[in-house]
Chain A
Amino acid sequence: MVELIAATGRAGLNRVAAFGRAAIFLMQSLVARPAPLQMLPLLLRQIYVVGVQSLIIIIVSGLFIGMVLGLQGYTILVAYGSEQAVGQMVALSLVRELAPVVTALLFAGRAGSALTAEIGLMKATEQLASLEMIGVDPLRRIVAPRFWAGFLCLPILSAVFALVGVYGGALVGVEWLGIYEGSFWANMQNSVDFFDDVLNGCIKAVVFGFVVTWIAVYQGYDSVPTSEGISQATTRTVVYASLAVLGLDFVLTALMFGDL
């Protein structure tokens, strides 16, 4: 019994210590004298890798999710004769919830895991140690541009997701199922508020971008430099990032829409 309590305590302390390490790691990566001339090319390259190369999966997923929403919304709402509200339903669910959450989940799987594996492999092949010995801080050279790229790209990807999703909803609702186009768009315009819905969705995307990228770069940097260690770190990135996104989404939704 005592052993069980001790083991629980130890595990708890380890978690807290890991969280502390991750926080120090983030501070050291970000609180640095900015060197824009050196940083900019590195940042642009990472934005391309992390953001631009994620565009395809985001656009395709956004389109399908928008189409499914349109279809499901129509089949439910047509029973009450209010199929004109499909536009409103599609837009609100995308802007408030699905765009930031699904984008963050896809981003964790597509870009987060790649960031972890890349940094982990750099560690395993002593590239990080060699940077340190050359007198270059790997936190600033490797971690900081990747972190900023992820942090900047996720909100933009989320906006693209919402945009394409709305188009997918319209495609199914208006073009296919024949909802009157005017009421589809008018209902959407009337019900979606810029501050309450769009801005809150953006805030969510910003928070998710921060958390997912932080988890990804930290797991890579903290990984055990063996093939098994990197595979575990990559898995942890996807699992932790997904759980963090879903958990935080509830908290943020409660704060934004729960009138707490």
Chain B
Amino acid sequence: MTQLDDIIIDVRGLTFYRGERAIFRDVDIQVPRGKITAIMGPSGTGKTTLLKLIGGQLKPDSGEILLDGQNVPSLGRRALFRIRERMGMLFQSGALFTDMSVYENVAFPLRVHTRLPEEMVRDLVLMKLQAVGLRGARDLMPSELSGGMARRVALARAIALDPDVLMYDEPFTGQDPIAMGVLVNLIKRLNEATGHTSIIVSHDIQETMGIADHIYILADGGVIAQGSPEQLMAENSPQVKQFIDGLPDGPVPFHFPADDYQSDLMLGLNNG
């Protein structure tokens, strides 16, 4: 296990239930400042839930989520909205405001949180759009964008206020190889250029491993492995190997739990 120093987000003893099902049981995660941290794991292990917990959109059943020492779940409504100005989040769908143009979408956080003159807002918006390569698309509406473009506009909007922490929810899902390459590059370049902390939730192993500094693998309500990409590649545990090598069967079974196959088929015959 690597020793991490200068932690920006410190998750301690996180427990979260959805109904009867435990999504997290006593989970500890540390996110180092200025680095790209990836949260990986099979679908349904609560990766997106973790981002929502960090963003204070969900409250844990127990445990602490400290952002620079401030416990996010214990914050009141107003303090929570203030701390969120330090976070940016890129949603899986992009989540652009459909009634605003690309330009207005990116300008939105600037308009609500700052009192900058219009010329400066314009310059900032164009700079952010230039960074994601879509300055020319400023007048388009979200419905006119492709999936990859929408995600890049959403990225420009997420970095509009220069957040300390940028969270990416499945940024590569459903992208064609070119769009995927563009996004991987962008995330890496933005992280280096601005020095913010990035958290990527993903199950796209190759892309994520290529840019992450530190990786946590979640499964069964807890962290099953963590370390640098090299450390994880060398990991021998069958659960980690199954996930990284993409094997269809293993500790995570192919079949959903069910009764014995043969007797189940016979049951149909008997009943008939």
Contact = CB atoms under 8 A, between A and B. Distances in A.
Chain A: number of interface residues, binned into ranges: 10 to 19
A28 B80 CA distance: 15
Interface in A105-158: 125-127, 129-130, 132-137
Main secondary structure of the interface of B (DSSP, over half): mixed
Given A125-B98, A127-B98, A133 B87 contact: yes
A129 B81 contact: no
Interface string B54-85: 01010000000000000000000100011011
Contacts of A38: 112
Given A127-B98, A129-B57, A135 B93 contact: no
A44 to B, nearest CB: 14
Nearest to A127: B95
Nearest to B83: A135
Contacts of A126: 91-93, 95
Which of A126, A135, A136 counts the most chain B CB atoms within 10 A? A135
Main secondary structure of the interface of A (DSSP, over half): helix
B175 to A, nearest CB: 17
23 contacts: A125-B93, A125-B98, A126-B91, A127-B95, A127-B97, A127-B98, A129-B91, A130-B95, A130-B154, A132-B57, A132-B81, A132-B84, A133-B57, A133-B87, A133-B88, A134-B84, A134-B109, A135-B82, A135-B84, A135-B109, A135-B113, A136-B112, A137-B81
A105 B64 CA distance: 48
Nearest to A45: B99
Nearest to B91: A126
Contact of B55 (A28, A132, A137): A132
A37 to B, nearest CB: 11
B217 interface: no
A38 B115 CA distance: 12
Which of B87, B92, B112 counts the most chain A CB atoms within 10 A? B112
Contact of B112 (A127, A133, A134): A134
B57 A134 contact: no
Interface in A53-110: none
Nearest to A133: B89
Nearest to A129: B57
A246 to B, nearest CB: 34
Interface in B12-60: 52, 55, 57
A145 B238 CA distance: 54
Which of A125, A126, A130, A137 counts the most chain B CB atoms within 10 A? A130
Given A127-B96, A134-B108, 9 more contacts: A38-B112, A126-B91, A126-B93, A130-B97, A130-B154, A133-B55, A135-B82, A135-B112, A137-B81
Nearest to B51: A133
A233 to B, nearest CB: 19
A166 B167 CA distance: 60
Contacts of B52: 129
